[in-house]
Amino acid sequence: MGAYAIRVDGPVPRTRTLSLEIDGGEPAATRVVLGRGAFDEVLPEVAAAACTLVVADEALRDVPWAREALAAIQEASARAHVELVTADEARKSIPTAQQLWRAWMGFGAGRDALVLALGGGIVSDVAGFAAACFHRGLPWIAAPTTTLAMADAAVGGKTGVNLDGGKNLVGALHHPRLVVADTASLETLSRRAHADGFAEVIKAGVIADANLFEACESLASRIRRRDEAAVAELLFGALRVKADVVRDDAAEASHREILNFGHTVAHALERATAHALSHGEAVAIGIVAEARIAARRGRLPAEAPERIAAACATMGLPTKPPPGLARAAMEEGLALDKKRRRGEVRVALPSAWGSHDESPSIPIAPEELLDAVV
């Protein structure tokens, strides 16, 4: 993986593109386009499909950018069906997937249909999962509209839903044909939602590209001000890291697990707070906590947790759990973590600053992990 190059002082490129080609169990190729106007790349795909099955976050109903995008799809498509879903973790479920399957069946969608996910990570997870299962697999496109989905969820082929007992316990690897991350869609995000995705960007720098992490440090205040050039640069840097990791280990047989850095703690926090913490906020707390463990084990420099915490805080992300969080609730979340092996809790840690090895996932005592969440 090459070093990340910072380009924020010249003109902002309209779009940037990378490709992710996967061999193995499900050969796939994903083209990723990021930048203002990227959504235009969807329209030729829609025009070529027999019908387009749009799954959109209902919160976008009154957003002008989304209304224009949906109108363009309707105009370009031979036949289009739009299904609105509620984008919260409680609705990231089998019943929501069934809602989509029934709607698609009623619409008469065949194997030549195209699924388009328009929204954040929850929408892409559910729509991608439904696409993977309907007619044993429909092609799909991800059009992420949040920083979190652009930095992480839309790329890599992981789709799925939650069960009552835990997060992402049912799913499939089903890579999108195209990811269009149109940065114009970020303009109406709240300050909190805008900051959310940059926890994943910071994570990407820590695990795979020290230059990207340094860019996070130097550009953190510009991210908080929503400087378009800085936002596009850091999101593209995170996408590049994820594409490189997934390309080499699509099925998560070895080092792709490093993308879970911070997530053992994060998923337990989300469950313990009943999702009062957003995913990005939980990841920010998680990468700081798990960096403490990595530093104690000599994998990261002693100052790493403080540097990571400072970058998160400057971008508007929390670095500590909310006051009064029950340790027992965290323990319950760890017991249900899908990364457990043979009953052991596991964390994925970088091997050094900006790099990782083939086997990043290691067992850890729950007590040691919880002690790091301070």
One domain for residues 164 and 249:
no
Residue where a domain stops, chosen among 186, 218, 239: 186
Same domain flag for 200 and 168: no
Residue 239: inside a domain: yes
At 130 the pLDDT is: 98
> What's the average model confidence in pLDDT over 325-329?
87
How many helices (H) and strands (E) would you count in the chain?
14, 11
What's the predicted TM-score (pTM) here? 0.91
Separation between Cα atoms, residue 154 and residue 151, nearest integer Å: 8
> Does residue 1 form part of some domain?
no
26 contact partners, CB below 8 Å, separation of at least 6: 157, 173, 174, 175, 250
Cα gap 318→280, rounded to integer Å: 9
Q: What CATH number does residue 56 fall under?
A: 3.40.50.1970
The answer, yes or no, to whether residue 340 has pLDDT greater than 80, is: no
Per-residue pLDDT reduced to its tens digit, 37-63: 999 999 999 999 999 999 999 999 999
Residue identified by tokens 């069906």 is: 81
Residue of higher predicted confidence among 13 and 66: 66
Residue 224 has pLDDT above 80, yes or no: yes
User: 214 — phi, psi (to 5°)?
Assistant: -60, -35
Whether 216 and 263 map to the same domain: the answer is yes
Claim to verify: residue 163 and residue 226 sit in the same structural domain: no
pLDDT tens digits along 166-207: 788 899 999 999 999 999 999 999 999 999 999 999 999 999
64 burial via Cβ count (<10 Å: 0-12, 13-18, 19+): exposed
pLDDT at 165: 65
Neighbour-count burial for 14-32, b at 16+ CB within 10 Å, e otherwise: ebbebebebeeeeebebbb
pLDDT over 50 (residue 4) = no
**With bands split at pLDDT 50, 70 and 90, how would you rate the model's confidence at 327?**
confident
Q: Structurally, how many domains does the chain consist of? A: 2
- pLDDT at residue 342, as a whole number: 66
95, burial (CB in 10 Å: exposed 0-12, middle 13-18, buried 19+) = exposed
16-35 residue pLDDT tens: 888 888 765 555 788 999 99
Considering the domain architecture, whether residues 212 and 158 belong to the same structural domain is answered as no
Average pLDDT, the chain: 91
Q: Provide the 10 A C-beta neighbour count for residue 90.
A: 12
Would you state the pLDDT for residue 3? 47
- Within this chain, do residues 180 and 220 fall inside the same structural domain, yes or no? no
In-domain check, residue 273: yes
Interior angle at CA 311, CA 309 and CA 317, nearest 5: 75
* Predicted pLDDT of residue 7: 53
Percent of the chain with pLDDT over 90: 77
Is the pLDDT assigned to residue 8 strictly greater than 60? no
- Identity of the highest mean pLDDT range in 276-285, 341-350, 356-365: 276-285
CATH of the domain at 319: 1.20.1090.10
Query: E strands, 46-195, where?
Result: 51-57, 80-85, 113-119, 140-144, 158-163, 166-173, 178-181
Domain-embedded: residue 157: yes
Q: Among 147, 151, 106, 149, which residue's Cα sits nearest to residue 127?
A: 149
Tell me what pLDDT residue 287 has. Answer: 98
Last residue of a domain, one of 138, 157, 186: 186
Domain presence at residue 326:
yes
| pLDDT average, residue stretch 62-83 | 97
SS3 251: coil
What does the pLDDT average to over 102-130?
A: 97
Is residue 4 assigned to a domain?
no
Q: What is the predicted pLDDT for the residue at 15?
A: 82
Among candidate residues 166, 186, 206, the one where a domain is terminated: 186
Domain carrying residue 109: 16-186
With pLDDT > 70 as the criterion, what percentage of the chain qualifies?
94
pLDDT of residue 39: 96
